[in-house]
Amino acid sequence: MKKTLISLLIVAISSFSAFAAPVSGQKAPEFSGKTMTGETISLSDFVGKPVVLEWTNHECPYVGKHYNSGNMQKTQRALTEEGAVWISIASSAPGKHGYITADLAQELTTSRGSYTNHFILDPEGTIGRMYNATSTPHMYIIDEKGTLVYQGAIDDIPSASVRSLPKATNLVLQAWKELKAGEPVSEPHTSSYGCAIKY
Amino acid sequence: MITMRELSKKTLTLATVLLGITGAFSNAVTATDLGTVEASHSKATLISEYSSAAAGETIWVGLELTPREGWHSYWKNYGDSGAAPIFEWVLPEGVTAGDALYPTPHRMPIGPLMNYGYEAPSTLLVPLTFDSGYTANALPIELIVEWLVCEIECVPQEGTWSGSLPVGDLSYDEGARSFFTDARDQLPEMAIWTADLTVYPAQSRLKVYAGADEIGTVKEAYFYPEGEGITEYAAAQQWASSPDGFFVDMVRTEGGLEANSGKGILVITSEDDQDRAYEIDAELKVEALPAAGSSNATPPQVNADFPLWQAGLFALLGGLVLNLMPCVFPVLSLKAFSFIAANSKTAGERKQEGWAYTAGIWVSFMIIVSALLIIKSSGTAIGWGFQLQEPAFVGALVLIMVLVALSLSGMFNIQVGVEGAGQQLASQDGNKGAFFQGVLATLVATPCTAPLMAPAIGFALTQSAPVVFLIFSLLAFGLALPFLALSYSPALARLMPRPGPWMEKLKEALAFPMYLTAAWLLYVFTLQAGATATLALLVAIIIAIFGVWLWQAFSGRVGKAIAVIIMISAASAIIIQPFGGSPVSNPVETASDITPYTEEALAELLADDETVFAYFSAEWCITCKVNEQVALFTDETQALFAQKGIRVMKGDWTNRNAEIAEILARYGRAGVPLYLLFPKGQSEAIVLPEILTPGIVADAIANI
């Protein structure tokens, strides 16, 4: 009975904390976090440069598909070479699926040949909740003025199989090309797929 | 940790079943079993319903997914995370595979997220349609299915099937019959009702147009949207019925994905806990503007022009008005006397006492509101005044009223605060006393929810928790305000009359409204708990008074202890109610042609093209009783009803009643009274004010 009451209270309280989600076309929420190298970075540090956020979980097979096939590295390379700042974020809580230490993050970044500029460790899930990130990989593109221009999946086939890649449209690349060409992003908000983030 | 390499190793061990065209059908039962794949964390079986297909026909194949114990697979809309199964067919020209039919999913909460899927084996049915020009005598089938199973972590599964099915004469496979019958039993029924799904920025509403007899009694309804951008999956859904059907309200993420489909599955749970699932294809309407009135259970037109500041002001004024209520005023008079008497106190002490009194009121209000919110969030339909639907609470109030009245009559002094002119008490005792006077004031004020407060409370209870607490804080502040003002302003305090023997007389006189209040509450208690319980309550009260008398009569320690034991046991008998009886059915005051309110009865009358006047009342609601005597049960109004052929319905909310709580909520009220006039053939009522005069009723009737 006591337990029920407590959980009811929790439900009541959490359902009152309005579901705020970032909106494509509006200002991206400001955040700051500690990276795997121990420095603290904020979104506002990169004003004037486009920023890409990649929610990741090294234990997730969907993330695995994009790293083992080289698809994620290819996307990272294309965008960072054209001036984007790439930030990988892990929001899994300690002890949960996908929790990562600074050492392991550094090791994986090297061994996978990742082109990420920063790797933020967000074990409290503060940034993840702020951005309403639900699965890994979950991608966000913020333009140089700080406006969120894309949020959602990395591509349009919600599969864990490498076979799906040749047929898939890379939605991050598509949005990036449109942004560079000064066109409006045709699909600014898609449904992300993959493993649930273990907050 | 599962790497891709490990995964591919696992999925490479695929069972591949090849069926020859000839000679493979000696065993009829297994003939159409296209094979079982044992994947790492689940297995999948593919079965055809027909042992032989035919050109121009559609046959069905079923894929049964059985996750390992504790693991689950997903519906086509997987909720916050997950993945729907992906079918990759390689079929010859002239044969097409349709979309899979999914069984009704279940909700699976994962931390703060929600998934839709299956923890048990589930069968997806896929139609294969043959052109009439299909000439080959066999169908080669190549199929790759990718599906996801999760426990805490997720493991993608993959299966490959390749086989062949004869094509010639359509031939049903008896061996597959029970498999397909079971699979179809798990599918939702096609709903016969029309429905629309309106998506506002922060909420969505599914409205289903169905007759009351078509849906039966509904305990709970839940909508699984097929498309994205309809709802925040983890948020609770609310449903309510309306005369032309019912609706389900869902919370939506503002700025979330765009809604793309009105389809989904509606699961209706009946009173006897039977689930029925219906496939709904609702018309999707997207509204750019928020639904007026942010309540989920309130239709858009209610509260449209009721801003927060106005609700707050009403709450403050309502709190002030409460001071004048017949059951509150005598209690407050005690407080007033203590102010008059406290000339010797310093200004600081007075202020402290004023705030202690305010705190007593505020804390009591917050306790009641928190209880209300907790009970509400558990899904129980209740509203303001719910405390009075609890006989134990009413019984305790009767005792309190009688004790306060006896104290006013001079039998004894309740030692809360400073009574009696000239009595000197330490300022700390004064504060404690003032606090409990605040608590007492709140307790006795609850039956007298002033009419002004009704809309404010109704508004508040449909809002988010912070707003609710703000409104009720203002209400508490309003109730406390007169004494707070007195404690701060010596000028005001000087306006009070000088203390004297008249105070004793006035106190004694004020006992009588308290006795009357007790009598009325006793009547409410009798209706709720029955005559036996009333006798028990009266005996308990008399014993409690006896205990008080003992206390005063004996000065020794033993005598006092006995008195305390007697008082405590009498009070606990009232609260525990060991003699609880059955409620007396509520008498209908006048005309016998008043129909008791039920949703069904209302819908029936409206369907018969009747004009209906529905009123909602409770025995503990003074405003209701006054309205009924002044405006409803007058000869003129009754004659008017008869002359116009208006059917009268009464909803009695003396005891808890979910149906009545719902209609109150639908019209933006948290409590009674509510007066509704349904013009002929209309399902939306005209709402009459909380305070009725015969003129208001007559005008409303004349205007329809």
Amino acid making up residue B221: A
Could you tell me the pLDDT band of residue B452, with boundaries at 50, 70 and 90? very low
More confident site: A176 or B346: A176
Kindly state the average pLDDT of the residues B456-481.
77
Torsion angles phi and psi, residue A189, rounded to 5: -150, 110
Q: What percent of chain A has pLDDT over 90?
A: 64
| The pLDDT of residue A11 is above 50 | no
Residue B466 with chain A: CB contacts under 8 Å: 16
Choose the closest CB to B232 out of A11, A19, A194. A19
Alpha-carbon distance of B13 to B402, in angstroms, equals 82
Q: How many CB pairs under 8 A join A and B?
A: 114
Strand, helix or coil for residue B62: strand
pLDDT category of residue B100 using cuts at 50, 70 and 90:
very high
Q: Which helix (H) or strand (E) holds B239?
A: strand B238-242
Count the Cβ atoms, other than its own, within 10 Å of residue B561: 13
H/E element, B198 = strand B194-199
Instruction: Say if residue B270's pLDDT is above 80.
Output: yes
Beta strand segments in B426-527, E: none
Query: pLDDT-derived band of residue B450, with 50, 70 and 90 as boundaries?
Result: very low
- Give A14-38 as a DSSP string: HHHS--B---TTSBPPP-EEEETTS
pLDDT the model gives residue B27: 35
With an 8 Å Cβ cutoff, are A19 and B80 in contact?
A: no
Contacts of B424 (CB under 8 A, 6+ apart): B344
Strand partners, B33: B47
- Residue A143 resides in a domain: yes
Q: How far is A129 from chain B (nearest CA, A)?
A: 10
- Cβ–Cβ below 8 Å for A8 and B377: yes
Q: What is the mean pLDDT of residues A14-27?
A: 60
If you average pLDDT over residues B599-626, what whole number do you get?
82
Establish if A14 belongs to a structural domain. no
- Cross-chain Cβ contact B2/A61 below 8 Å: yes
Q: Hey, of B107, B148, B232, B464, which one would you mutate to test binding to chain A, going by the most A CBs within 10 A of its CB?
A: B148
Question: What are the residues whose beta carbons fall under 8 Å from the beta carbon of B170, sequence distance 6 or more?
Answer: B50, B52, B53, B54, B57, B59
Residues of B in Cβ contact (< 8 Å) with A196: 80-82, 110-111, 113, 115, 150, 154
Distance of CA B203 to the CA centre of its chain: 17
| pLDDT for B417 | 37
Q: What residues contact residue A83 under an 8 Å CB cut-off, 6+ apart?
A: A49, A50
What's the gap in Å between the CA of A108 and the closest CA on chain B? Answer: 13
β-strands B283-286, B194-199 pairing? parallel
State how many domains chain A has: 1
Contact A15 B235 (CB under 8 A): yes
Task: Give the mean model confidence (pLDDT) for residues B561-573.
Answer: 82
pLDDT band at B343 (very low <50, low <70, confident <90, very high): low
B589, B652 contact by CB (below 8 A): no
- What does the pLDDT read at residue B562? 84
For residue B378, list chain A residues with Cβ-Cβ distance below 8 A: 8
Region B304-316: mean pLDDT is 68
Residues of B near A (CB-CB distance < 8 A)? Answer: 1-5, 7, 80-84, 86, 110-113, 115, 146, 148, 150, 152-156, 158, 202, 228, 232, 235-236, 251, 253-258, 373-374, 377-378, 464-466
CATH number for the region B190-286 comes to: 2.60.40
- C-alpha distances in angstroms, B84 versus B39, B78, B108, B149? 17, 6, 15, 10
Chain A residues near residue B374 by CB distance under 8 angstroms:
5, 8-9, 12
pLDDT at B3 over 60: no
pTM of this structure = 0.50
Whether A62 and B156 lie within 8 Å, measured CB to CB: yes
Residues in chain B: 704
Evaluated on CA atoms B287, B292, B293, B299, the torsion sign reads negative
**Nearest residue of A to residue B146 by CA position?**
A159
Query: What's the CATH architecture for B595-702?
Result: 3-Layer(aba) Sandwich (3.40)
pLDDT of B414 above 60: no
| CB B639 within 8 Å of CB B648 | no
pLDDT band for position B426 (cuts 50, 70, 90): very low
**CB atoms A22 and B255 under 8 Å:** yes
pLDDT grade for B499, boundaries at 50, 70 and 90? low
* Nearest C-alpha neighbor of B483 from the set B339, B289, B586, B651: B339
Smallest CA–CA distance from A199 into chain B, residue: B111
In the prediction, which pLDDT does B510 show?
Answer: 80
**Which amino acid, B697?**
V
Q: How many CB atoms lie within 10 A of CB A46?
A: 18
Mean pLDDT of B680-704: 82
A33-42, B18-27, B227-236, B629-638, range with the lowest pLDDT: B18-27
Q: Can you give the residue range of the structural domain that contains A144?
A: 27-196
Highest mean pLDDT among A101-105, B174-178, B273-277, B562-566: A101-105
Q: Specify the CATH number for B4-186; select among 2.60.40.10, 3.40.30.10, 1.20.1070.10, 2.10.50.10.
A: 2.60.40.10
Coil, strand or helix at B552: helix
Nearest Cα of chain A lies from the Cα of B374 at a distance, in angstroms, of: 6
Mean pLDDT for the stretch of residues B48-66:
92
**Mean pLDDT, residues B90-105 taken together:** 93
Percent pLDDT > 90 in chain B is 17
**Pairwise CA distance, residues A28 & A42, whole Å:** 12
The predicted model gives B557-584 an average pLDDT of 72
The pLDDT of residue B82: 81
Tell me how close the Cα of A106 comes to any Cα of chain B, in angstroms.
18
Per-residue pLDDT at B122: 94
Q: What is the pLDDT of residues B196-249, one digit of tens each?
A: 998 888 788 998 888 777 777 778 889 999 988 898 888 888 888 777 788 898
pLDDT of residue A151: 94
Q: Which of A4, A7, A14, A15 to mutate to test the interface with B (most CBs of B within 10 A)?
A: A15
Unique residue bearing structure tokens 């998934």:
B115
φ, ψ at B662 (rounded to 5°): -65, -50
Q: Over 50: is that where the pLDDT of A197 sits?
A: yes
Q: Is B382's pLDDT higher than 60?
A: no
Residues of chain B with C-beta less than 8 angstroms from the C-beta of A26: 255
State whether A15 and B251 contact (CB < 8 Å): yes
Does the structure show a pLDDT above 80 at B580?
no
* B89, B90, B96, B97: CA torsion to nearest 10: -10
Band of the pLDDT at A123, cuts 50, 70, 90?
very high
For tokens 């790492």, the residue is B40
**Fold equal for B4-186 and B190-286:** yes
Length of chain A: 199
The nearest alpha carbon in chain A to B156 belongs to: A160
- Residue A34 lies inside a defined structural domain of this protein: yes
Indicate if the pLDDT at residue B371 is higher than 70.
yes
Which tokens hold the place of B586?
Answer: 């509520």
How many helices, marked H, and strands, marked E, lie in chain B? Answer: 19, 27
Mean pLDDT of chain B: 77
**A64 and B7: CB-CB below 8 Å?**
yes
Lowest-confidence region among B460-469, B575-584, B610-619: B575-584
* The pLDDT of residue B307 is above 70: no
- Per the prediction, chain A carries an average pLDDT of 86
| A111 within some domain | yes
pLDDT above 70 for B265: yes
Which residues in chain A are closer than 8 Å to B253, comparing Cβ atoms?
19, 21, 132
pLDDT for A63: 93
Segment B498-513 mean pLDDT: 76
Residues in chain B within 8 Å Cβ distance of A195: 81, 150, 153-154
Answer yes or no: is A140 within a domain: yes
More confident residue, B78 or A3: B78
Place of tokens 């003002």: B485
User: pLDDT at position B271, please?
Assistant: 81
Q: What is the pLDDT of residue B432?
A: 76
Q: Which of A130-134, B1-5, B158-162, B530-534 has the lowest mean pLDDT?
A: B1-5
Residue given tokens 């409590």 in the structure block: B671
Q: Give the model's confidence band at B509: pLDDT under 50 very low, under 70 low, under 90 confident, else very high.
A: confident
| CATH number of domain containing A64 | 3.40.30.10
Name the minimum distance, in Å, from the CA of B259 to any CA of chain A.
11
Q: How far apart are CA B470 and CA B459, in angstroms?
A: 12
Query: Does pLDDT of B24 surpass 70?
Result: no
Q: What is the per-residue burial (b if ≥16 Cβ within 10 Å, else e) of B228-267?
A: bbbbbbbbebbbbbbbbbbbbbbbbbbbbbebbbbbbbbb
Q: What is the pLDDT of residue A6?
A: 38
* Alpha carbon distance B224, B105 (integer Å): 8
Residue B140: phi and psi, rounded to 5, are -75, 130
pLDDT of B14 over the 70 cut: no
Residues of chain B with Cβ-Cβ distance to A189 below 8 Å are 256-258
Q: Where are the domains of chain B?
A: 4-186, 190-286, 308-393+413-509, 595-702
Position B387 scores a pLDDT of 65
Asked whether the beta carbons of residue A16 and residue B464 sit closer than 8 angstroms, the reply is: yes
At residue B417, the 3 state secondary structure works out as coil
Question: Terminal CA-to-CA distance of chain B, rounded, Å?
Answer: 71
Question: Residue B509: helix, strand or coil by DSSP?
Answer: helix
